[in-house]
Amino acid sequence: MPDPHILLLGGPTASGKTARALDWASKTGGVILNADSMQLYADVPLLTARPDAAESAQARHELYGFLPPDQQWSTGDWLRAALPFITAAQTGETPLCIVGGTGLYFLTLVRGLAEIPEIEPEVRERARATYDTHGEVFVRDTLRQLDPVTEARLAPHDRQRLCRALEVVWQTGRALSDWQTDTHPILPPNSYRFDILRPARDGLYARCDQRFDQMIAHGALDEVRTLMDAGLQAGWPILRVLGLPELWAHLKGEMTLDDARNLAKQKTRNYAKRQTTFFGNQFA
């Protein structure tokens, strides 16, 4: 069977996905489509390890670096933006490499997206207020009664997805996990190839540390200063970018640069571990 026109390329942060995608593009002339929720943001190309100017010139890149810092995209938003490129690849027009580390994007492609009714603003605000007032443990205890499947698979401190699960069950009376099982894949079986990068843990962690040092050396602090000048606030979604909260705290005088650097590296390694586990469990 000929190689499919769509390559899914996933894996943890710092695993070499950009280089692999560029190698693919050099051989196929195809389009590289971003599937990393943090690389959507415009203001932090260094901190999100976005392809640089030289890398971007080697192939056509789409869905990189356009989102403002106070805006958040859902998985559905990403899918709607990705569908034209997917359709073009499915019709044989342009090969497509969908590359990134946001596992939910890939789950949507191979398993489908739940058609969940729109959540009323009052319900959404109630879920967030519950988390902020009572804390994560309370929200998890609540979810464990209402949607144990979703609660068990969400990582620690994932406020966004914990609140999402809570608001869905409050709004619809049905668990998010139930909605997600009632789906159909966007990409039919055998219409794509799925490559997952699985580097050895020690080497991966070393690359995470080295890359963060390079980010600092090349101007990551200036990216944070620019965001501060633009009015960076605690509730902005861009603060989910690895390293950004720690460097912001340093620039506000709340910790030394060494402490910020070490904490950011630790959180990056932890995130890489969670990504590795997710891809291993969901796409074994």
The annotation places the binding site for substrate at: 13-18
Question: What distance in Å separates the CA atoms of residue 101 and residue 196, rounded to the nearest whole number?
Answer: 10
Binding residues for ATP: 11-18
Q: What share of residues in the chain are helix, strand, coil (percent, to 5)? A: 55, 10, 35
Q: Provide the total of helices (H) and of strands (E) in the chain, helices listed first.
A: 13, 5
Binding residues: 11-18
33: left (phi over 0), alpha (psi -120 to 50) or beta: beta
Going by C-alpha positions, the residue among 25, 195, 23, 5 that lies closest to residue 86 is 5
Question: What distance in Å separates the CA atoms of residue 192 and residue 210, rounded to the nearest whole number?
Answer: 33
Structure tokens at 251: 């620039």
**Helical H segments across 173-256, by residue range:** 176-181, 201-218, 220-229, 244-251
H/E run at residue 194: strand 193-196
